[in-house]
Amino acid sequence: MTAVPSHKSQLVELSADALRSRLYEALGLYVTAMGYPKGTAEQRAPMWLAHMLRDGWRCVAAVDQNDELTGICYGYRGAPGQWWHEQVRRGVIELAGPGVADEWMRDYFELTELHVRPDSQGRGTGERLLRMLLDNVPNDRVLLSTPEGRTRAWSLYRRVGFVDVLRNYRFAGDPRPFAVLGRQLPMSSS
């Protein structure tokens, strides 16, 4: 676990074993940050555990002085056959054609989760987590999906240079519209 000081919270890189040991704490943060119903953590736990086995998986967390998680961020190398990859590829092909889908999705890192506890938001934690996670990622691009609407997450992604790849997309099993955003890597220090 590598630590980097960060204002009131400290950023730490978590191994898969370290995240497994804090999985329900991390999922509780996720459920709270997203406003999901009780029971979502149990539903998502197997998915998060499976993600930890994917090529290029990495995770960064923010912890407070009591060693409680205030933020969590993870992702991995996107690849054909993964659920999210196939959903997004289909949507981009429908919107812009296979050439655009191939360009965005040939070598990308999927930013799968980025969540900050509501009482810790607005302090730059999300951006610090994002930058630390993406530092030295070997992929050409990073892609993510986020619910449509004006949120702190949306503002963060725009501020650090993410552009529209696909808008108002509906993933199978979720009625909300999502935006798929992407940007070139590496991220600049600005």
Supply the residues annotated as catalytic.
157
Asked if residues 125 and 72 have their Cβ atoms less than 8 Å apart, the reply is no
Q: Over the Cα atoms of the chain, what is R_g?
A: 16
Residue 59: beta bridge partners? 14, 74
Q: What whole-number distance in Å separates Cα of residue 61 and Cα of residue 19? A: 9
Please tell me whether residue 165 adopts helix, strand or coil conformation: strand
Q: Which of 103, 87, 113, 81 is nearest to 184 (CA)?
A: 103
Residue 58 tokens read as: 């990495």
Q: Tell me the C-alpha distance between 104 and 90, whole Å.
A: 12
